[in-house]
Amino acid sequence: MRAMKNPTWPKALAFVGFAIFGLALAYYSTAIATAGVAARQIGSDRSGDWLTTGSAVLMVGIAAAAAFGFLALTNLRALMRRRG
């Protein structure tokens, strides 16, 4: 059996940790985007780069949370089936 197809508890918990990291990244991106809006309003960021960066980081964080959350749930489900 290949390594990714062999579910283990440490691997499942690592995926849960990565999913939480993705959610934290998405939460942090709101601060970046808010700073971008403020910088745009006061005129220090004329091009809107910070708002764009905040939006990009938000999408990456949500995608990472979704992908690693799926992998965590898949591993946990396989572990529960094997156990019971």
Residue 15 covered by a domain:
no
Residue 16 covered by a domain:
no
Torsion sign across C-alpha atoms 62, 53, 21, 75: positive
Residue 60 covered by a domain:
yes
Its pTM stands at 0.82
Domain span at 76: 25-83
Residue 5 covered by a domain:
no
Residue 11 covered by a domain:
no
Residue 56 covered by a domain:
yes
Q: How far apart are the first and last CA of the chain?
A: 20
Residue 13 covered by a domain:
no
Tokens of 51: 């708002």
**32-52 pLDDT, tens digit each:** 999 999 998 999 988 989 999
The pLDDT score that the predictor gives to residue 74 is 94
The pLDDT score that the predictor gives to residue 68 is 96
The pLDDT score that the predictor gives to residue 84 is 65
Residue 61 · residue 29 · CB < 8 Å:
yes
Token pair 């990009």: residue:
56
Number of structural domains found in the chain: 1
